[in-house]
Amino acid sequence: NGVKNILHIYRLLEKLSHLDIPLLIHGEATDSEIDIFDREAVFIEKTLAPLRKSIPELRIVLEHITTQEGVDYVSASQHNLGATITPHHLLINRNNMFLNGIRPHYYCLPLAKREVHRLALVNAAISGNPKFFLGTDSAPHLDNVKENACGCAGIFCAPTALSCLAHIFEKNSALNNLEKFVSLNGAKYYGLPANSKYTRLSKVETPMKQLKSVSIGKNKVTVFDPGFSLLWQHENI
């Protein structure tokens, strides 16, 4: 269930700051009384803001943000704060989980939120702002543990991630910022060199054949379905 009281690990966080090791954190409050759709906003207000005030030199990455509040807080920060965004949170909102029934393969944590939050994430991702970068949070689970009365959270988005992102950035006339979001912003924030290898994205006229699942023994893992035909193929060069 994660750390319930961050005050208990302040000495550790101070040490991370001294060593310039970034803290990568799933930023949601863990109190069960807090509405599950509000936990990111509550975490920012009650935990993250005081933490950054107490240890301002600690570099932090809010992993897989999902809300307008997350986007606004990161955008307004002066330094030492970045955020990752997943491909699926750019494409689905909470309605997708309940469209004509329960859709377990759209269930992940943190949960997809309202459409207004999805649009805020898209605007952040395509902006070129170096504080925002890709984190796929791709989480493959066997179908038999997803499709049951208490299914696992997680979306297996890795096989379609780049094609989905190219679609999003093209749709928003922002292909010029795709490389920054996918490859450059994160490396720069972590103080690492950009990858020396390249991937070529090419748009095709005929929709690509989408991989629907991956077989694992007698079971399978369902691949994230964005709900539209994929027209961007990629290859390593």
The CATH number of whichever domain residue 207 belongs to comes to 3.20.20.140
pLDDT 10s digit of each residue in the chain, 237 long? 667 788 899 999 999 999 999 999 999 998 889 999 999 999 999 999 999 999 999 999 999 999 999 999 999 998 999 999 999 999 999 999 999 999 999 999 999 999 999 999 999 999 999 999 999 999 999 999 999 999 999 999 999 999 999 999 999 999 999 999 999 999 999 999 999 999 999 999 999 999 999 999 999 999 999 999 999 999 999
CA gap 183, 150 in Å, rounded: 36
Asked if 142 and 159 touch (Cβ cutoff 8 Å), the reply is: no
137 has catalytic annotation: yes
Alpha helix positions (H), 78-216? 87-91, 115-126, 143-146, 161-171, 178-179, 185-190
Its sign, for the CA torsion 146, 147, 151, 157, is positive
Residue labelled with tokens 């989480």? 139
In a domain, 152, yes or no: yes
For residue range 76-89, what is the model confidence (pLDDT) as tens digits?
998 999 999 999 99
C-alpha distances out from residue 101 to 52, 145, 166, 213, Å:
41, 18, 29, 21
The token duo for 204 is 């095709």
**DSSP letter for each residue of 38-98:** THHHHHIIIIIHHHHHHSTT--EEETT--SHHHHHHHHH--SSEEEEE-HHHHH--GGGGG
- Phi-psi category of residue 27: left, alpha or beta, with phi > 0 → left and psi -120 to 50 → alpha: beta
Q: Which domain holds residue 87?
A: 6-236
CA gap 193, 27 in Å, rounded: 27
What is the SS3 assignment for 229? coil
> How do strand 219-222 and strand 213-216 relate by DSSP bridges?
antiparallel
In a domain, 119, yes or no: yes
Domain count across the chain: 1
Catalytic one of 72, 137, 143, 225: 137
CA gap 6, 233 in Å, rounded: 43
In a domain, 1, yes or no: no
In a domain, 222, yes or no: yes
In a domain, 225, yes or no: yes
